Amino acid sequence: MIVAVIELQEGKNGTITEIRGGCGVQNQLRSIGIRESKDIFVVTRHPFRGPVVVRIDGKMISLGRGLASRIMVELAD
Amino acid sequence: MKKIVLMGNPNVGKSVVFSRLTGTHVITSNFPGTTVDYSQGTTCLDKERVFIIDAPGTYSLNPSNPAEEVSSRILNEADLVVNVVDATNLERNLILTLDLISRGIPLLVVLNLWDEAKHTGVEIDVRRLEELLGVPVIPTVAVTGEGIADLASYLYKSVPLPPHESWTEDEKWVRIGHITSEVQTITHRHHTLRDLISDVTIKPVTGIPIAFFVILVSLWAVIFAGESIITYVSDPIFAYYLPFITQFSEWLGPGFVQQVLIGELIDGQIDFEQSMGILTTGLFVPFGIVLPYVIVFYILAALLEDSGYLPRLATLTDTFFHRVGMHGYGIVPVFLGLGCNVPGILATRVLETRKQRFIAATLIAISVPCMAKTAMIFGTLGQYGALYILMVIVVLALVYVTIGAILSRILQGECPEIFLEIPPYRKPRLNMVLKKTWMRLVAFIAEAVPYLFLGVLLVNILYATGFLSWFGDLLSPLIVGWLGLPKEASAALLTGFLRKDLAIGMLLPLNMTPGQLVVAVTTLTMYFPCAGAFAVLYRELGFSGLVKSVFVMVCAAFFVGGMMRFILIGM
């Protein structure tokens, strides 16, 4: 099943299939290491529309909700 | 002179490499994007002087924020580029390396954080990486100096041009994938205590209570240690100083010179807090009261920065800062502004858009009290009990939230979201912490002392020429009628342009009620930035931004002051 990172529960992980959005967003995310076919793990989600913290290649990254809703992942079972 | 430019992703240790190479002291910390401005220095290599520039961190060469634009511009003048790469995160760092290769400038790659990489189970075949990239690669641990001699020996050799290659975006990723799979072996490692602490401090359920705890402990440490320094160091020093200055004062005899240097005698004695002379109050306020707190604050700030806690705090406070038009990065200027507003306002550059920077800078100047203000708030109100101090702090916090929320709604412009890498926790190094504290103290003293002397001098001249009482009459509808303060308080308001601590100190001899003092202190804190902050606001926001910002401040200060007057003093 393919969902956006924003929909993943804490402690879940998946493989990135697509980054939605313009060239700017794609470059911004890719250059920090968020790219297609990478494994992404949700460390925590902050309440009240707060950021999502993910781990990718052993690095932790805080993402705003808008960015987190542009990253599509294939859910791991 | 040969120009060497250091480039790399944020938070990979460029500034440490820079200070190792040049011996210059620059501020480094464990927060991405600390170097927003660039530093430059020269160093002697094999009897030849070279010019070294430490560029701000950048992920790629497509400029997407001010720091990256600066980097890209500097690059055009480089004779040699030293690309500092984070060995623990090779894949992501290589995108910039490939961008640099396609620029066709002689290039060296420095694999920094080599020790941390080994520690986390990452092994890199350096020779193979050199072959694949076609440029020299040098592993280093900049904080300890390991590998720096190697690097220096390369700097004066002529480094060959990198192979002439360029790729499309997609080709770059393919190439990077190929390189990393060839040179890098990652051994899986078990979760360590550090990972556990890392997780616990960023999850809201545990992280928020921990953040409150950290902030409270820091506050307590600043107050406790600051007071201890005052009791055991500065008070005794000034007690030794008193007989000398008293003798000097008697030698001078009454007159204008005594008035300026020594000031008013209180009951025939010099009173360091109230006399208002350059050599009495002018020395006592910055060194006797403010400096002890500033020292402790900067040590703590350095510890929090270097450990890597700040980016976690930024994530935890993101939801709050989002409401006032910023995002989690907003914590950095606030945090530095608590020490001194000048570096606080400079740090607003970590925010991406003009709108966010305007909000951040204005809010700092209005309602983030620097250590000088804080020390004087405690100094003037402390004798009446903690409740009055708390009142001022709560009002300032409410002002921050309210004005932030209003500005974020009425101002045009974008408010991008948080997008921040959380670095691993690193053990702060004592020498780095001390060095950083020292540099900031020197900057603080250089900033504070001239304005204090000027302030004292100005007050005395204005007093002697009768301007102050004229000005007091002029402002009396506002000061007496609206704020309910004695007419003489306008002198403090005027001095507040130069130094806030001095101005708040001038309120002491006026025999006001605690309620009046709270109103006066709050208004003084908010109404206008001190000269130093004013200058840096102008630099960061431009003339029209400065005017807007000051307008917001003046309106807010007198509105809030008036409201507090009705609540605390009555009609």
**pLDDT tens per residue, range B340-394:** 888 888 888 778 888 999 999 999 999 999 888 888 788 888 888 889 999 999 9
Taking the Cβ of residue B184 and every Cβ of chain A, the question of whether any pair is shorter than 8 Å is answered with no
Q: What is the pLDDT of residues B163-187, one digit of tens each?
A: 777 778 778 888 888 888 888 887 7
Beta bridge partners, B185, equal B123
Domains of chain B: 2-186 (3.40.50.300), 204-568 (no CATH)
Give one word for B85, left, alpha or beta, with left for phi > 0 and alpha for psi -120 to 50: beta
Task: Report the distance separating Cα B419 and Cα B552, nearest Å.
Answer: 29
Tell me how far apart the terminal alpha carbons of chain B are, to the nearest angstrom. 70
Look at B203 and A44 and tell me if their CB atoms are within 8 Å.
yes
Extract the tokens encoding B297: 């604050």
3-state secondary structure B231-266: HHHHHHHHHHHHHHHHHHHHHHCCCHHHHHHCECCE
Cβ–Cβ below 8 Å for B419 and A47: no
CB contact under 8 A, A58 and B62: no
Q: Which residues are paired to B83 by β-bridges?
A: B7, B109
Cα B309 from Cα B331, distance rounded (Å): 12
Can you tell me the distance from the alpha carbon of B530 to that of B364, in angstroms, rounded to the nearest whole number? 12
Nearest to B280, CA basis, from B440, B528, B459, B441:
B459
pLDDT tens by residue, B76-133? 888 889 999 988 888 888 988 988 888 888 899 999 888 888 877 888 898 999 889 8
Domains of chain A by range and CATH? 2-75 (2.30.30.90)
- Over residues B507-553, the pLDDT tens digits come to 888 888 888 999 999 998 998 887 778 888 888 898 999 999 999 99
Contact between chains at B319 and A62 (C-beta distance less than 8 A)? no
Instruction: Compute the nearest-CA separation of A43 from chain B (Å).
Output: 7
The DSSP annotation for A10-72 comes to: TT-EEEEEEE-S-HHHHHHHHHTT--TT-EEEEEEE-TTT--EEEEETTEEEEE-HHHHTTEE
C-alpha to C-alpha distance for B48 and B42, rounded to whole angstroms:
10
pLDDT in tens, B276-318: 788 888 888 888 888 888 899 889 988 888 888 989 999 999 9
- Give B314 to chain A, closest Cα distance, Å: 9
B394 contacts B381 by C-beta, under 8 angstroms: no
Exposed e or buried b for every residue in B540-571, given b needs 16+ CB within 10 A?
bbeeebbebbbebbeebbbebbbebbeebbee
pTM over 0.90: no
> CB-hemisphere CA count at 13 Å for B112?
28
- Asked if residues B472 and B479 have their Cβ atoms less than 8 Å apart, the reply is yes
In the 3-class helix/strand/coil scheme, how is B119-154 assigned residue by residue?
HCCEEECHHHHHHHHCCCEEECECCCCECHHHHHHH
